[in-house]
Structure 1
């Protein structure tokens, strides 16, 4: 302000001075004959009417400055000096007027005209900031909808559960009236809600569902509805016997398999010669010189003592282990077995299923991904329903699977779900790692009965099994026995006892031959062979000698020769398998959304943390009342500027970044960190890895939007910065995007239990690297500014700096502030693009980690 703008008074004797407070409000000081009598009123422009006393600015006294630095007001100016048009007022006409801000507008510090409030704001007369309540109203409406939907679902679930229990009790009463014996003889059947015959109780409930395997030469299998199926089961002949009656579930399942495979036999044969495996950092071979043949359409058991190499053998045979030696053939053709993984199922020992999905949803997803791409959705749905009925899971198909820590269905049912996920893909061979582990005897018999039936359909079933009961052992067609990583026996189950008896071992009467054999191959054979060599090495050497003279496979029929036409058909079958990648993205996206919806507690917790973080950060900024920047006034008022504040906006951005990091880091880790096993299983089964990852990433967008909505709304309502709400929302959302991406990287390289803590720490680091302290100007002098520019926190702070400072260009020299802080101005769009790019780069790194780390588990 200049003397021309001041109202100068001249009276005789210099008894009157007019002092103009910056902002245009004149104060007349009378009875002062000289300037020394008046004294220097700090912060005032005092105009004297004589040539000897020109207008001058009086700086604050040291004592007053000390008070201001400690946050204590010093009259008459208060905390902020100088005051250019008080907040709540606007000063037009060059500052010569001071008018209260009208209703519907707000007037921050130093404006010449009122600023219209946005829609939904409460702006009474004299408002100095824009408090917009519209986002809060929308937020409350969204929360009410979410809570109402959750409550309605819980009520519907309770009603359904109550109905189910009533129907079950009714069925049980009817059953008891008919007699339990009829149920066990399978004379009693029910029609489930889809119209398929099935049973409504699990083997682990009050009534037995599956028949027991009663003897070593039992002709019928677990699926007795179809009758006696031989190993040379011919599909078309069986299906052509259509007498017009209702087909059983197994008939329908076989028909579905036939449509998928296009062949009369469903199995694959495997020949292996001199298989070996030596860990990269070990000189000792875990597996060595293992040779044999696994014929198609049979049920095989792989047995041995702990550490004998059972799992290693299966992994090497399936191509899951690198550093192998030897040759494997599939249907007589040598090559890598991995190229057939789309038609080979693998059921791990641990039931790797998604606990948030139902029984049917787990199996359906596998079918949609792995069945031929030309199948319609209705065909896939029908295939899955038939399979669920065959697996005796119809009565629990809509139940959540649950976790092992919090189970919903029984262990036997969970195991059948895991098997069903592989059978849904219509494989030609299935490998299982201890499918009866952790199950009671009845449930184990049920599982093995199912596998026996599948082998009679022509599938090749290879299962690692440990200490089976006698009925299970005698249901196996053939066995591979291993000891110390070497072959002890490979042949029919019927040849086991004669083989060991020929070596001098006795099998006592009334004992389980599986237990006797288990003791022998574990090195405890002395109990059954008092004299002679009973060591495991002796068994290995004996079998090696039999292989050399060609008598090892005398009990086996020669492997059938596979024609070139059949090989071509097999290759065509493999190529036709699997949905296109874009469909897989959609299926993975849909599944992930369902998972997040089912994990409501985690979802609501994230929203609550976001809202609380926004509230606390907004509360910290509440005293600023929207004024978070003070700079050097534009000329000619620059001399009035004594108190500058360039750090409040970067500090606000720092708090925002830290709050978002704390809100999003742990959920971001959970998206992938808890599903590594699922991913490894699906990747090994031929699922598209890129589709899985993109589907998961896209599914997090609604979650990020809602969490950011809660955070930004609470933060903006209390802090009321100059940045528009929409701009702050987009900037914050992109920062959420970055933190989720960073958390994805963390989840790839750490254990699940360590991931959340490390992700929080990393989010704090990238939040602190935002250019506030040290400033970007200082960092640039160290020549390491690229480190700060690699952090999304810097781009968030720069975006906030631009949007909060640029509107004040009319008042302050903001270019000077830009140079001091080191940020760039008028680059808001570029700042947003850089956060988008950094978040995407994080995801690319995470995907590379997902794809190339633990590669042996994805084979």
Structure 2
């Protein structure tokens, strides 16, 4: 069996050796003592049943208060203790819901508040910002942009995360070194992909997520189920990669759901959890002998990890033949651990002194050393606002161009333009009612289309945004401006194509100036409608709910836009004054027919209808609001909707 140092995927040395301009690594010994975490329950279903049982036996007031407290809160972690040193891999095992991810989040410094208790130490010192900034955290889900290649993903990340004192060329060199270190050279020009887009394999995608954190050359690397979804061979290669990183002096902590026997043997130590409580902590190769000493052993040779997970689920051998789930197994193992093993673990932690960590490492935690300046992942020491904005703009344009100009979307716009052009083919200038219908159709199409698409913008980016903000890659203003500004040029190309086809096919006012004015109105209407979608999407932050609200809002705007209904009830009349469709429609009509004076003599209406439908056509044409006022209101909406979206994101960012 190959050792971690023999892993075939590792083909380069530590990037800090090849490129001394990035942060040097120093050893961190991680200790955690009596870590506990409780959360409040949201469901009331169990509460009612529990209270009913309590009242049936007539509890005292103190019993009722205690039971209510237990109902309102649930213990996720209870007194977890352990440690891991540089060069080691600590594996956290346990069934789903045992508290593995919560413990990893606590060790990464991402959980705080009154619900969290316990002590977490780095080199016998409490966690500080320099330590947290040298901590890499790889989440369980691979949160990456699907249309970027592996190299593009890591180069953009390096440009955002590495110090501003480095040149772009140096940051790119760091990304290339990490690509080589993690064995990603064969797929560096392949897109990441997702469920619907074919890209790199699952193992390669996971290594890209690890490479995200390796760019800062972390001393402590924490991974949440990195082998989830991988086959046995891919999982072994990935853990071999982690083993190689650990041998270079890094401290690695990872949760693993169901490792193979080959993978299990690569772990230095193991922590087994069951329902938030510890069943075992110690060396991986001593786990089986410990459980045998307390009366639990398999009846036939099996994968140690499978056996430990069976015990964590309360499943054990009965009479050496069958397997049954016994509730008392977990309690027996928890009691055995608290009695036999926990005191030894705490004694071992107490025996550790600050001399166990190099002097330079301890100094680096509390402040800078001469050779090791403190890392700064976020803040003024790294990318400036303008630099962040530029990089995010470049990344956004590369990522979203595929979504904006995908074949189905282009076909939708072109097909709508051709169909409408055929319906209004060379319409007569005097067929006013038909032309008003065309202008209103344009208002409807370019009101609903961009607002509906924009409603998904922030909810789709939510996972990436939270991950990258937690890593300190950029601040909210730079992200927001890059997201909004990056969408503008792409969102304006399709409306230009649409109008270029429809305008001349339908025979609207054959004047280049009138065409340009109509185009400017449509483009302005598009960006205002997009702002409406961004605002509603940011406020709701749920794609399905936001799309529903946008649909209802645009329906109200269309109905009060001035074409379908002229005598709007007074209690609904106010809607048209906040309707983007109303102002854009009036501007489009103004370009074609001016203020409508003298248009009555041109209307092709019979005398019998002079006081009927023609009256409403005249009302449509005659300006009820000055064009300059319409333009001013649309400008206010353009900035107002985006301001609302930013404030909503700011609130979400603080939540």
The two structures have a TM-score, normalised by structure 2, of: 0.79
Decide which of 602, 605, 609 is 2:412's aligned counterpart: 609
Counterparts of 1:678-757 in structure 2, within 5 Å, are: 678-688=464-474, 689-717=476-504, 718-721=506-509, 724-745=514-535, 747-748=537-538, 749=540, 752=543
Distance 1:621 1:825, change over 3 A: farther
- Give deviations 1:265-308, integer Å, cap 9, x for gaps: 15463534342121342635241323324334231111112221
Distance 1:356 1:392 in 2: 21
Q: Is residue 89–residue 253 contact of structure 2 (8 Å, CA) maintained in 1? A: yes
Decide which of 543, 551, 568 is 2:367's aligned counterpart: 568
Distance 2:584 2:112 in 1: 45
Distance 1:404 1:618 in 2: 38
**Is the aligned partner of 1:543 residue 2:337?**
yes
Q: Is residue 221–residue 452 contact of structure 1 (8 Å, CA) maintained in 2? A: no
Between 1 and 2, higher relative CO (CA 8 Å, sep ≥ 6) is seen in 2
| Partner in structure 1 of residue 198 of structure 2 | 407
Distance 1:431 1:529 in 2: 38
Distance 2:373 2:550 in 1: 45
Distance 1:224 1:714 in 2: 54
Report the CA distance between 1:791 and its aligned residue: 2.2
Distance 1:615 1:219, change over 3 A: closer
Distance 1:824 1:557, change over 3 A: farther
Counterparts of 1:551-566 in structure 2, within 5 Å, are: 551-554=345-348, 558=352, 560=354, 563=362, 566=365
Q: Is residue 277–residue 285 contact of structure 1 (8 Å, CA) maintained in 2? A: yes
Q: Is residue 795–residue 835 contact of structure 1 (8 Å, CA) maintained in 2? A: yes
**Is the aligned partner of 1:302 residue 2:302?**
no
| Partner in structure 1 of residue 633 of structure 2 | 834
- Give deviations 1:166-191, integer Å, cap 9, x for gaps: xxxxxxxxxxxxxxxxxxxxxxxxxx
Report the CA distance between 1:729 and its aligned residue: 1.1
Distance 2:209 2:273 in 1: 26
Distance 1:807 1:367, change over 3 A: same
**RMSD across aligned positions (CA):** 3.9
- Give deviations 1:459-484, integer Å, cap 9, x for gaps: 22221102211221121122222111
Counterparts of 1:24-423 in structure 2, within 5 Å, are: 212-213=1-2, 218=3, 220=5, 222=7, 249-251=12-14, 253-255=15-17, 259-263=21-25, 265-267=26-28, 269-281=30-42, 283=71, 284-297=73-86, 298-320=88-110, 324-331=115-122, 332-334=124-126, 342-423=133-214
- Give deviations 1:112-152, integer Å, cap 9, x for gaps: xxxxxxxxxxxxxxxxxxxxxxxxxxxxxxxxxxxxxxxxx
The two structures have a TM-score, normalised by structure 1, of: 0.61
Report the CA distance between 1:408 and its aligned residue: 2.9
| Partner in structure 2 of residue 661 of structure 1 | 447
Report the CA distance between 1:577 and its aligned residue: 6.2
Name the SS of the counterpart of 2:146 in structure 1: coil
Report the CA distance between 1:770 and its aligned residue: 1.8
Distance 2:210 2:648 in 1: 29
Distance 1:559 1:840 in 2: 59
Name the SS of the counterpart of 1:312 in structure 2: helix
Q: Is residue 489–residue 543 contact of structure 1 (8 Å, CA) maintained in 2? A: yes
Name the SS of the counterpart of 1:708 in structure 2: helix
| Partner in structure 2 of residue 35 of structure 1 | none
Distance 1:320 1:819, change over 3 A: farther
Name the SS of the counterpart of 1:285 in structure 2: strand
Q: Is residue 349–residue 432 contact of structure 1 (8 Å, CA) maintained in 2? A: yes
| Partner in structure 2 of residue 24 of structure 1 | none
Distance 1:342 1:564, change over 3 A: closer
Q: Is residue 93–residue 270 contact of structure 2 (8 Å, CA) maintained in 1? A: yes
Distance 1:517 1:620 in 2: 71
**Is the aligned partner of 1:788 residue 2:576?**
yes
Distance 2:153 2:592 in 1: 50
- Give deviations 1:338-391, integer Å, cap 9, x for gaps: x96654332222322222111111222221211122111111111111111111
Name the SS of the counterpart of 2:32 in structure 1: strand
Bigger proportion of residues as helix: 2
Distance 1:660 1:742, change over 3 A: same
Counterparts of 1:792-807 in structure 2, within 5 Å, are: 792-806=580-594
Report the CA distance between 1:662 and its aligned residue: 4.7
Distance 1:576 1:508, change over 3 A: farther
Report the CA distance between 1:541 and its aligned residue: 2.9
- Give deviations 1:631-667, integer Å, cap 9, x for gaps: xxxxxxxxxxxxxxxx777655432221213543454
| Partner in structure 2 of residue 583 of structure 1 | 387
Report the CA distance between 1:707 and its aligned residue: 0.8
Report the CA distance between 1:407 and its aligned residue: 2.9
Size of the alignment, in residue pairs? 592
**Is the aligned partner of 1:596 residue 2:397?**
no
Distance 1:268 1:258, change over 3 A: farther
Name the SS of the counterpart of 2:92 in structure 1: strand
Distance 1:697 1:559, change over 3 A: farther
Q: Is residue 491–residue 555 contact of structure 1 (8 Å, CA) maintained in 2? A: no
Q: Is residue 9–residue 182 contact of structure 2 (8 Å, CA) maintained in 1? A: no
Name the SS of the counterpart of 1:401 in structure 2: coil
Q: Is residue 95–residue 274 contact of structure 2 (8 Å, CA) maintained in 1? A: yes
Q: Is residue 300–residue 478 contact of structure 1 (8 Å, CA) maintained in 2? A: yes
